[in-house]
Each structure stands twice: as structure tokens, then as C-alpha cells.
Amino acid sequence: MNSLLFLVLVIALYYFLTKNYKTSNYQHIRPGRKQQLQGALKDHEAGLLVALMAKVAKADGKVSELEAQLIGLTLTDIANTFEEATHIREELKAIYNREKETFENTLMIAKQYVQLSRSNYPKRLGLIEYLLNLAFIDGEFSAAERMITEDIARALEVCSQDFERLVARFQAFYAQKNTQKAMTLANAYALLGVSQSASFDEVKKRYRALVREHHPDVLMGQGAGQDIIDQATEKLQEINEAYELIKKHKGT
């Protein structure tokens, strides 16, 4: 069973999206302080991001359980950067539900996103990395998912070499995971630091705490070096695998 890999890359996605804006700053996600929404949310970076998430999640005709979990966490974290976070999250959810029903405006949304990040190529590259993570999260990268992420990357003016490099990295990672020995149940409980008699609610609480503790995007925001960020990402992959194994064992 595929584990919930790279979860941390989307819990606080907005850390990728926050630097060096000179115009229309109110249209950008701004972590670290609550912002008040000005204008329509669909035209804000948050709305555009969620719209592109919806296109990729539904590209193969279905939204898997893992994709749904990742999307839910992302909606919550983005909404928490706004005042009236609960209301904003509902609006973001509505955007997601609406945009997953059509692909006709995909390139238009991507081009609108470019206008908000014209001088920040790494920001757009980070968005593509996130979208690829979403596409790969269930362990499969379908032809439809490749087509739509490639189209979005082109519309975001991400060069093909960078796109292919990211795809190859995800493919190599999943290939390696498939050849590794499966984690034992005892190791999974030990890794999460809970006993086998713990309730699933206790396991889930501990899991979420560990995800926050080893969040590479948070470390990135704190100025941590790449080696530390890479170690945190690897650790979270193990945590996610352990959680999925325990979840299956408990029949939830």
C-alpha cells in the first residue's frame, strides 16, 4: 500500500509563495500575519492555487483518499493566513469543487498566476513541484496527470528541463520506495512513539505532532540549510509510511 508520502510539502505550501513582491501585494498569500481579503478570492493567489490543485487532482477522473487528505490540509493552512479563516476556507473549498469540474480554463488560470509572480521563477517552480507531488501521491502518475501538469508548467513559463527534472526526481523516489523492504508493524509503532495498545485517535494525534515538528517548509522559513531540510523530508516519509501501516492494521 502506498504511504502518505511527501505530506509535509503541502501542509504549509504557502512558504514557497511569499517573497519579493512589488505590486498588488494584497493579492499574495502572506504567512506570519493575518491578512484581510481584498477583492475576489478567485483572483487572489490563494484562489488560483486551489483552482490549479483541483485540475490536477481530478485529471485522471477521480480524487484519491490521499489526494483528498493533502488538499484538505492545504486549504486549512492557506485559510489560516487570512482573517476570518473559517469563512475563507469554505470559499476555497467552493473554488476547488467548482474548478475540478472543468479543464477549459486551466491555462487561463495558470497565465493569471504568472501575472502575480512574473519576477519570481522559483515561486512558480515550487508550485509545479507541489502539483507534481499531488499527482504522484497515490503512487501513480497517469498519462492524464502528466499532460495537465506539463500544460500548466508551460503556461507558468517553467522551462521543460526543470519540469522533466522534477518528474524524474519523483519517479526515482517512488521506484526506490518500491524496492525497499516494507516497514514492520513494530517498527512503525516505535517510530511514532506510541504503544500497540494505543487508540487510533492517540496515533493520529501523535502523527500530526510529528508532521509539524519535522516540517521542512517550516525549517525553510526558519533559514535552515538544505541538508537539514532534506533530512526532515526523509524523516517525514518514514513517519508517513509508519502511520499508513498502523492505520491499515487498526482497520481505519
3-state secondary structure (DSSP) of residue 32: coil
Number of domains in the chain: 2
Q: Which of 241, 214, 213, 243 is nearest to 230 (CA)?
A: 214
Domain presence at residue 1:
no
Are 46 and 140 contained in the same domain? yes
Q: Which of 2, 150, 16, 130 is nearest to 70 (CA)?
A: 130
Percent of the chain surpassing pLDDT 90: 44
Query: CB of 35 within 8 A of CB of 78?
Result: no
Are 76 and 143 contained in the same domain? yes
Q: Could you tell me if residue 64 is left (phi over 0), alpha (psi between -120 and 50 degrees) or otherwise beta?
A: beta
Residue pLDDT, tens place only, 60-116:
898 888 888 889 988 998 999 999 999 999 999 999 999 999 999 999 999 999 999
Range of the domain at 175: 8-179
Query: CB of 60 within 8 A of CB of 144?
Result: yes
- pTM, two decimal places: 0.66
Last residue of one domain, picked from the residues 164, 179, 194: 179
Are 167 and 69 contained in the same domain? yes
* Terminal alpha carbon distance of the chain: 14
Length of the chain: 252
Residues with Cβ within 8 Å of 3's Cβ and at least 6 positions away in sequence, in order, are: 177, 237, 240, 241, 243, 244, 245
Residue pLDDT, tens place only, 209-249:
888 887 766 656 666 677 777 777 788 888 888 888 888 88
- We report the CATH number of the domain holding residue 221 as 1.10.287.110
